[in-house]
Amino acid sequence: MKIAIGSDHGGIHLKNYLKEYLQGKGWEVLDCGTYTEESCDYPDIAAKLCGEIAQGTVTQGILVCGTGLGMSIAANKCAGIRAAVVTDEYSAVKSKEHNNANVLCLGERVLGTGLAESLVDAWLKTEFAGGRHARRVGKIMDLGK
Ligand code: RB5
């Protein structure tokens, strides 16, 4: 029950909100920053969180920026990362079930806190289905090698 979370300045309020939400549910949360509202660069935070996954400190993480887009683009450049930006529950479920997403990306300027909670809950409770999806995810991971 350990997860990493991170944001830039555009996602810091939702990041802090979700950190408390997850801690309240018993998760140990590794906060990869940012820690102030001062403007910062989302690729730096994405790299830090994805580095924790690469090192095995955690197996999954949540990244928040204004839209979730910059974080997902940055995270998907990192080795071993499958990041999905979602705004609806169905996609949150499928991103884990079919794509085995190990990073969930959310947009603070897009989502309310209630929807963000639902997306996080849906993603965390869903298991990767494996089977034919494992073959496809394997092919994704081979891209760019
Ligand atoms: C920061 O203003 C904003 O660009 C960032 O949070 C994110 O939305 C980028 O994709």
Q: Tens digit of pLDDT for each residue in 4-14? A: 999 999 999 99
Residues present in the chain in total: 145
State yes or no: is 98 an active-site residue.
yes
To 5 degrees, how large is the angle CA 92–CA 79–CA 119?
15
Answer whether residue 100 shows pLDDT above 90. Answer: yes
Decide whether any atom of ligand 1 lies within 6 Å of the 72 Cβ. Answer: no
Longest CA pairwise span in the chain (Å): 45
Q: Which two tokens stand for residue 102?
A: 């190990």
Q: Tens digit of pLDDT for each residue in 50-97? A: 999 999 999 999 999 999 999 999 999 999 999 999 999 999 999 999
Q: Tens digit of pLDDT for each residue in 111-132? A: 999 999 999 999 999 999 999 9
Decide whether any atom of ligand 1 lies within 6 Å of the 66 Cβ. Answer: yes
Q: pLDDT > 70: what percent of the chain?
A: 100
Ligand 1 atom nearest to 109, measured from its CA: 8
Q: How confident is the model at residue 145 (pLDDT cuts 50, 70, 90)?
A: confident
Question: Strands 103-107 and 83-85: what pairing?
Answer: parallel
- The reported pLDDT for the residue numbered 85 is 98
pLDDT averaged over every residue in the chain: 98
Residues paired with residue 6 on neighbouring β-strands, in sequence order:
63
Residue of 125, 16, 2, 96 whose CA lies nearest to 53: 2
Residue nearest to atom 1 of ligand 1 (CA): 10
What secondary structure does DSSP assign to 20-57, as a single string? HHHHHTT-EEEE----SSS---HHHHHHHHHHHHHHTS
Q: What is the CATH number of domain 2-142?
A: 3.40.1400.10
Residue ranges of domains in the chain: 2-142
- The reported pLDDT for the residue numbered 26 is 98
Phi, psi (degrees; rounded to nearest 5) at 61 = -155, 165
State yes or no: is 105 an active-site residue.
no
